[in-house]
């Protein structure tokens, strides 16, 4: 079981930021990534639809003999984490709790800002997770739906991205936010731009890195870590359009992707 892969899934390409962090943090682990590119984006969809899609992906990943599941998608984590945990016989780790924990550890008294898709923000999942850890901390939330297409265009430093970032982040600057949770798979690629707009004193919490650390803790506590001689093997699957995944995905994972399978679901 220890040499079995970790399953990772996302609504599309963005979860490769989490995959990249997992590669860095757990170099001996094998992975299977599933991106639901046929049905992306999840951000504007209803909680019930996101739960249904997420359960279909879970079922496919479990059929691949995985030892743990990482829900890289913030919107899926926000709407579906408990449902997925109830339906899985292996550990299911989402991105919300690790991000919230890191934000609470970093803040100097708040407020903590949270940015994400419309669905993640409307769910209030980050706010709840932060308040579970620190009930008195003030949380300011802003949905930033335009960031996803800007990142997929590769416009990390484009003047249009800066203009939009200033518009979205203005209320967070006005509120004196000292810590910002990047509550969406795509946002880590905007870190330099966001740091410039907010000011270098604001701590940016990258849920991808925090989740990789949480996965390491879970595997270690269950004695499920791969041995140092395990030849880490990485598979990638999507529900549609593998060429776009190959073209855009390398930006997210930081290396060229050479092969991706197509697995239609639903």
Query: Which residues are catalytic, by number?
Result: 73, 184
Rounded to whole angstroms, the Cα distance separating 246 from 250 reads 7
* Closest-approach residue to ligand DGL (CB): 43
How many C-beta atoms surround the C-beta of residue 55 within 10 A?
Answer: 17
> C-beta of 15: minimal distance to ligand DGL in Å?
6
Containing H/E element for 47?
helix 47-62
Give one word for 158, left, alpha or beta, with left for phi > 0 and alpha for psi -120 to 50.
Answer: beta
Among 75, 83, 179, 239, binds ligand DGL (CB under 6 A): 75
> C-beta of 206: minimal distance to ligand DGL in Å?
12
Among 4, 6, 10, 100, binds ligand DGL (CB under 6 A): 10
Query: By CB under 6 A, is residue 43 in contact with ligand DGL?
Result: yes
Query: By CB under 6 A, is residue 150 in contact with ligand DGL?
Result: no
Surface-to-core class of residue 223, CB atoms within 10 Å of its CB (0-12 exposed, 13-18 middle, 19+ buried): exposed
Give the CA angle between residues 144, 150, 155 to the nearest 5°: 130
Among 4, 40, 102, 198, binds ligand DGL (CB under 6 A): 40
Nearer Cβ to ligand DGL (67/186): 186
> C-beta of 176: minimal distance to ligand DGL in Å?
26
Sheet of strand 179-183: strand arrangement: 139-143, 112-116, 179-183, 203-206
Query: By CB under 6 A, is residue 238 in contact with ligand DGL?
Result: no
Q: The tokens 């990142």 sit on which residue? A: 151
> Which residues contribute to the site for ligand DGL (CB under 6 A)?
10-12, 14, 40-43, 73-75, 117, 120, 148, 184-186
């Amino acid at each position: 079981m220890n040499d079995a892969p970790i399953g990772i899934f996302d609504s599309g390409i963005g979860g490769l930021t989490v995959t990249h962090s997992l590669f860095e943090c757990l170099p001996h682990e094998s992975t299977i990534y599933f991106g639901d590119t046929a049905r992306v984006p999840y951000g504007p969809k209803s909680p019930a639809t996101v739960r249904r899609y997420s359960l279909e992906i879970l079922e496919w990943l479990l059929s691949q003999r995985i030892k743990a599941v990482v829900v890289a998608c913030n919107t899926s984590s926000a709407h579906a984490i408990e449902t997925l945990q109830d339906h899985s016989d292996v550990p299911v780790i989402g991105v919300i709790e690790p991000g919230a924990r890191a934000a609470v550890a970093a803040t100097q008294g708040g407020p903590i800002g949270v940015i994400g898709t419309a669905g993640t923000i409307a769910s209030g999942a980050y706010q709840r997770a932060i308040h579970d850890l620190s009930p008195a901390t003030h949380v300011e939330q802003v949905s930033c739906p335009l960031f996803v297409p800007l990142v997929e265009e590769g416009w990390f430093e484009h003047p249009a991205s800066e203009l939009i970032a200033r518009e979205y982040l203005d209320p967070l600057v006005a509120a004196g936010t000292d810590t910002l949770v990047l509550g969406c798979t795509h946002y880590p690629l905007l870190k330099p731009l966001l740091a410039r707009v907010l000011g270098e004193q604001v701590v940016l919490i990258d849920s991808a890195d925090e989740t990789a650390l949480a996965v390491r803790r879970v595997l270690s506590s269950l004695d499920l870590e791969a041995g140092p001689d395990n030849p880490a093997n990485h598979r990638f699957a999507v529900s549609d359009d593998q060429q776009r995944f190959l073209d855009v995905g390398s930006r997210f994972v930081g290396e060229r992707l050479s092969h991706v399978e197509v697995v239609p679901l639903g």
